[in-house]
Amino acid sequence: MVLVKIAWRNVWRNKLRSSVVMISVILGIWSGLFIMAMTLGLNEQRMSGAIDTYLSHLQIHHPKFEEDYNKNDTIVNRYELNKQLDTITRIKAYSERLVINGMAATSKGSYGVKILGIFPSQEKEVTKISQKLIAGTYLNKLKRNPMLIGAKLAHKLGVKEHAKVVLNFQDMDNNTIAVSFRVEGIFKSASSVFDQGTIFVKYQDLAQLTGLNGGIHEIAILCHKIDDTEMVKQKINTPNKIDTWAQIAPELGYAQQTMSSFIYIFMGIVLLALAFGIINTMLMAILERKHELGMLLSVGMNKRKVFVMIVLETIFLVLIAAPIGILLSYWSIYYFGIHGIDLASISQGLESLGIGSRVYTYLPLNMYFTITFMTLVVAVFSAIFPARRALKLKPAEAVKAN
């Protein structure tokens, strides 16, 4: 207890130096955690935006459909598969789709698009397209050939609500069809790439035009939780091909797997920089107290106690600063997790990556405890070198030092 009291008093003997160390620790922890939360938030938004817009957690296709997107490769045993999906409790909803590649044309030009023939009530439960409308309604107002079009594509085609767009595609016999559809709604998702290349129409309209009545190219499945994806995949017994979101978009799966490693590497670099600051400060403190340490050694304090005293001083500095840094980080991450950070100045670049212009910070609660532990470990190791330097002092020479 005597060593603890001495170490505590030594912390406050030079308040300016101790304050500089503590402020450095506070700012280091806060900046590190906040950048981590921002990075995680960007990744979470990109992944959730993709899943909620076009990926879903699982997709089912005919085994050969994705090889060349042949219109005649429809899902095998569709109705039996639907009955099976209805019995799996971990599935929140699923949506059946026709997928046709075609061209969208107006007087301003034509662009290649993916035409999705959907059941609006099903699609509404699986994707958030119905919530992303910036104009018009969700395929429930116009009776003849309504369509939903992305804002990016609408801008390129020069169309607005109720405008006509000619869709060109092939039927099941490879005959080219050109049909006029009317824009009922315009949506804007987080991904400009998706908005530019995707059109939604009613299943009945597209099936009748292509002659694919009763056929389905794709079933998109949304689970209650992303962690249920693999379990649901194992439960589905079908000759069709089943792909998870990570298999469809491997770049998202890779980012999710490597993000945790990146976080620890990044925070390790921040803590390493803090460690050098702490080592430098404690070495300066030892040089300033050379005479005092010589006196302590001369009167009989053994080197082990001197070592422990200096380590305790370092730990006290971090124990004071770390909780403040953690609390400051938690408050700022919580605040911007609700209100977001406006990055409208680089919104075009973010949208090309599938991220909105407002970023919401996110950091799992367990990360705060992990970083606190890492900070304490760094503090202990940072104290070892200055403490060992103090042990090399010769009492007779140290006492004579000014």
Query: What is the DSSP annotation of 24-81?
Result: HHHHHHHHHHHHHHHHHHHHHHHHHHHIIIII-SEEEE-TTHHHH--TT-PPTTHHHH
Q: Are residues 24 and 78 in the same domain?
A: no
Instruction: Provide, rounded to the nearest whole percent, the portion of the chain with pLDDT above 70.
Output: 90
Is 58 inside a domain boundary? no
Q: Which residue, 180, 210, 239, sits at the end of a domain?
A: 239
Is 246 inside a domain boundary? no
Instruction: Provide, rounded to the nearest whole percent, the portion of the chain with pLDDT above 90.
Output: 41
3 state DSSP class of 127: coil
Q: What is the DSSP string of 350-365?
A: HHHTT--SEE-----H
- According to the model, what pLDDT value does residue 303 have? 74
pLDDT tens-digit map of 69-83? 889 999 999 999 999
Dihedral-angle region of residue 95 (phi above 0 means left; psi in -120 to 50 means alpha; beta otherwise) = beta
Separation CA 234–CA 29 (nearest Å):
42
Q: Are residues 108 and 218 in the same domain?
A: yes
Q: Are residues 300 and 360 in the same domain?
A: yes
3 state DSSP class of 302: coil
Q: What is the DSSP string of 205-262?
A: HHHHHHT-TT--SEEEEEESSGGGHHHHHHH---SSEEEEHHHHSHHHHHHHHHHHHH
> How large is the C-alpha radius of gyration of the chain?
31
Residue 302 has pLDDT above 80, yes or no: no
- According to the model, what pLDDT value does residue 331 have? 94
- Between 401 and 277, whose confidence is greater? 277
pLDDT tier, 25 (very low <50, low <70, confident <90, very high otherwise)? confident
- Between 269 and 350, whose confidence is greater? 269
Residue 277 has pLDDT above 90, yes or no: no
pLDDT tier, 154 (very low <50, low <70, confident <90, very high otherwise)? very high
Is 75 inside a domain boundary? yes
Return the number of other C-beta atoms located less than 10 Å from residue 204's C-beta: 11
* Cross-strand partners of 187: 133, 150
Is 244 inside a domain boundary? no
Q: Please give the model's pTM, rounded to 2 decimal places.
A: 0.75
Q: Are residues 87 and 201 in the same domain?
A: yes
Q: Are residues 329 and 386 in the same domain?
A: yes
Q: Are residues 257 and 360 in the same domain?
A: yes
Is 87 inside a domain boundary? yes
Range of the domain at 321: 2-51+253-400
Q: Are residues 302 and 160 in the same domain?
A: no
- According to the model, what pLDDT value does residue 49 have? 78
Q: Are residues 22 and 71 in the same domain?
A: no
Q: Are residues 34 and 72 in the same domain?
A: no
Task: Choose among 348, 352, 39: nearest CA to 194.
Answer: 352
- According to the model, what pLDDT value does residue 122 have? 95
Q: Which residue, 178, 213, 239, sits at the end of a domain?
A: 239
Task: Choose among 288, 243, 196: nearest CA to 10.
Answer: 288
Is 248 inside a domain boundary? no
Is 346 inside a domain boundary? yes
Task: State the chain's mean pLDDT as an integer.
Answer: 85
Q: Are residues 72 and 205 in the same domain?
A: yes
Enter the tokens of residue 321. 């600063």
pLDDT tier, 147 (very low <50, low <70, confident <90, very high otherwise)? very high
- According to the model, what pLDDT value does residue 345 have? 64
Residue 365 has pLDDT above 60, yes or no: yes
Mean pLDDT, to the nearest integer, of 235-262?
Answer: 83
- According to the model, what pLDDT value does residue 118 have? 95
Is 35 inside a domain boundary? yes
Check if the beta carbon of residue 389 is closer than 8 Å to that of residue 285: no
Q: Which residue, 200, 215, 239, sits at the end of a domain?
A: 239
- Between 294 and 78, whose confidence is greater? 78
- According to the model, what pLDDT value does residue 116 have? 96
- According to the model, what pLDDT value does residue 300 have? 65
Q: Are residues 233 and 266 in the same domain?
A: no
- According to the model, what pLDDT value does residue 400 have? 60
Show the CA angle centred on residue 8, arms to residues 5 and 11, nearest 5°: 150
pLDDT tier, 115 (very low <50, low <70, confident <90, very high otherwise)? very high
- According to the model, what pLDDT value does residue 347 have? 59
Q: Work out how many domains the chain is built from and give that number.
A: 2
Q: Are residues 41 and 67 in the same domain?
A: no
- According to the model, what pLDDT value does residue 202 have? 96
